[in-house]
Structure 1
């Protein structure tokens, strides 16, 4: 068996280097810009605040077991979520979030598959 070439610290340094490279991708850049636009969009922020207020109201209604009012408030929350999701910048943000997650998942599964393959070959 050969001597290990790397230790855990070496691997973590490479992981940080890879993380930095990922933050410099087109996908992450677009995600950051879309998030900034959402944060600066008064309509979106107002609707998000309304959702938060309705969620607090829902918690209070649950506490007092007001089931009809709970149903109504939940419908209002669902309507607000649907409205928010129909705003183009929100759709772009969610799409970019999915793309960033796919890149991260691809990196993770590639590393996992390659390490597993190496271990299997070494055990034959």
Structure 2
């Protein structure tokens, strides 16, 4: 049976819903909410955004020295934000969710590749489709 693109997209949405309901995503959402509720972090982010706007202006007008000073201040604020435990937890949870998404993507890609190799009578160990195996065998006309 051949599947339509719409059927595949529907299954992908099911998998996405499953991923959204994992412990990793739940932790990510909680950590993000805690960051948004943290006054200290919110103030630092607001300061950083303001400095970033200034940096864009200094860069636009070629004010290299002022730009360097602003970039130093931005880096210092980023470091202060990164030191906040909930921010560290948020970044870790972000990494965990990305790793989960990458695992799913890799699993799908590997499964599709293996199915193609198997369906064409190929060699899974060598990762070659049937047409490659047949064309590389002795006596082929290549």
In structure 2, stretches of 5+ residues that fail to align are: 121-129, 131-142
For residue 82 of structure 2, what is the aligned residue in structure 1? Answer: 85
In structure 1, stretches of 5+ residues that fail to align are: none
Alignment RMSD: 0.9
Give the structure, 1 or 2, with the largest relative contact order (CA under 8 Å, sep 6 or more). 1
Q: How does 1:44-123 map to 2 (within 5 A)?
A: 44-123=41-120
- For the pair shown, which has the larger CA radius of gyration, 1 or 2? 2
Distance (Å, rounded) in 2 between the aligned partners of 1:13 and 1:53: 42
How many residues are treated as equivalent by the alignment?
Answer: 121
Note the C-alpha offset of 1:37. Answer: 0.4
Higher helix share: 1
Provide TM-score, normalisation by structure 2.
0.82
Note the C-alpha offset of 1:68. Answer: 1.0
